[in-house]
Amino acid sequence: MCPRRLLNRVALAATLAFSNTGAAFAMPQVLIGSYTHDSGSPGILRLRFDPESGRVEPRPLQTLVSANPSWLTLDLKNNRLYAANENGPGQPDPVGRASAFAIDPATGRLSPLGQQISLGDEPTHLSLSHDGRYLFVSNYGSGPNPGGSLAVMPVGEDGTLQPVTQLATHKASEVHPQRQKSAHVHSAVLSPNGKTLFVSDLGADRIFAYRYDPANPERPLTAAEPAAITLLAGSGPRHLVFSPDGSQAYATLELSAQVARFDHVDGTLVQRQLVDLAEGDSLDAHSPGAIHPSADGRFLYVSDRAKANRIMVYAIDEHGSLNEIQQRTSEGREPREFAIDPSGRFMLIANQKSDALVILRRDPDSGLLGETLQTLSIGKPSDVKFIDRAAP
């Protein structure tokens, strides 16, 4: 083939790559959500991530003003980002909201698409139905009245959010005298097949199960059978994740400082294991929060906040059972969330109360966390999400 024809083919391939919605960026990017009240942070930061060194470029590619975007949810298929604006009583904006943004497929640049009221206080988590038609908003509601709720928010074909069409509330267990006076919905996660929504309610000591049926557009959720998984009284379920193959589920229990393991079959959860993080210490010293498996399903990572301020590392055996292999300091205070980069060689930790994003080296083979590579000053970081166009 002549050199000119080869160059033309290369140029055409590059043009097609950047015109495709799955086009690769020159370098992966990372989004940071942060609490804005008294933090100096604008809300959302978009930064360049170097996959070779594991370092983040300190100067943001873009910043967006958004009130308390404590949780970020990406829809890369449709080039959109959704943020939970954790507003509530006592905040400059006392109204809980969810916001939508368009993502430029070639550059990653974010453009606001508007927002909607979540009909609850302090929305802390968002998830998207697999068909992209609904956003499930977890209103934590720290106050006893009205407490927490699950809101169902339709998504327009253009990515804009529509007013809430369905609201679900639960009865509190009232075991913990301060934390369980009312329901506190902390997360809502779909089963791998997208047919069952599992809702962790810290105030009710239950994980509620709802069937998802978009054929009923105004009320797409109905109670499943069984309608809930009852956990240890006073345990306070926070976040639930599934193993990559969908056979297992793992949940952080914030108040009892534990991790629960479940077998997952046909939209039902059966508890099989309970792992204690406190191990004889005072429960006040521990507060499990973020929980994520490695992409290969061999390891599970859990952030332990309060006084512990560490990342727990568990090996997952062939039956799904957890075996602790490491306790690694988060190099900061209140590791609210973390993310493993697409290569699996680095972990980025949002240390909320020390205003720092910390990057650790990770060994993909052993699962162990290694040296600290970088500490980046960011006001009250709360969530970390990668936009990686090079990933399949």
Q: Would you state the pLDDT for residue 24?
A: 61
In this predicted model, what pLDDT tens digit does every residue of 265-304 receive, in sequence order? 989 999 999 999 998 889 999 999 999 999 999 999 999 9
Q: What are phi and psi of 16, to 5 degrees?
A: -65, -40
Half-sphere exposure of 176 (CA within 13 A, CB side): 22
Q: Give the C-alpha distances (Å, rounded to integers) separating 84 from 34, 73, 80, 217, 296.
A: 11, 9, 14, 22, 28
- What is the identity of the amino acid at 356? A
Is 378:32 a contact under the CB 8 Å cutoff? Answer: yes
CA angle 90, 96, 78 (to 5 degrees): 145
Residue 331's pLDDT band (boundaries 50, 70, 90)? Answer: very high
Q: What are phi and psi of 303, to 5 degrees?
A: -90, 135
Cα separation, 45 vs 33, whole angstroms:
7
Q: Which residue has the tokens 């927490």?
A: 148
Is 370:359 a contact under the CB 8 Å cutoff? Answer: no
Is 158:177 a contact under the CB 8 Å cutoff? Answer: no
Cα separation, 109 vs 74, whole angstroms:
13
| Cβ-based neighbours of 161, under 8 Å, separated by 6 or more | 82, 98, 99, 100, 113, 114, 115, 116, 135, 153, 154, 155
Q: Which residue has the tokens 């933090």?
A: 39
Q: Which residue has the tokens 């991530």?
A: 49
The arithmetic mean of pLDDT across residues 215-243, rounded, is 97
Q: Give the C-alpha distances (Å, rounded to integers) separating 302 from 264, 276, 295.
A: 20, 12, 15
**Res 366 pLDDT > 80:** yes
In this predicted model, what pLDDT tens digit does every residue of 332-349 receive, in sequence order? 999 999 999 999 999 999
Q: Would you state the pLDDT for residue 280?
A: 84
Burial 77-87 (b: 16+ CB within 10 A, else e): ebbbbbbbbbb
The pLDDT mean for the chain works out to 93
Is 269:229 a contact under the CB 8 Å cutoff? Answer: yes
Cα separation, 239 vs 198, whole angstroms:
10
Q: Would you state the pLDDT for residue 389?
A: 59
**Res 95 pLDDT > 80:** yes
Residue 14's pLDDT band (boundaries 50, 70, 90)? Answer: very low
Residue 392's pLDDT band (boundaries 50, 70, 90)? Answer: very low
Q: Give the C-alpha distances (Å, rounded to integers) separating 163 from 152, 218, 231, 235, 338.
A: 9, 11, 33, 33, 31
Cα separation, 333 vs 251, whole angstroms:
22
The arithmetic mean of pLDDT across residues 196-220, rounded, is 97
Burial of 158 (0-12, 13-18, 19+ CB in 10 A): exposed
Q: Give the C-alpha distances (Å, rounded to integers) separating 35 from 30, 42, 65, 84, 170.
A: 17, 9, 11, 11, 27
Q: What is this structure's pTM?
A: 0.92
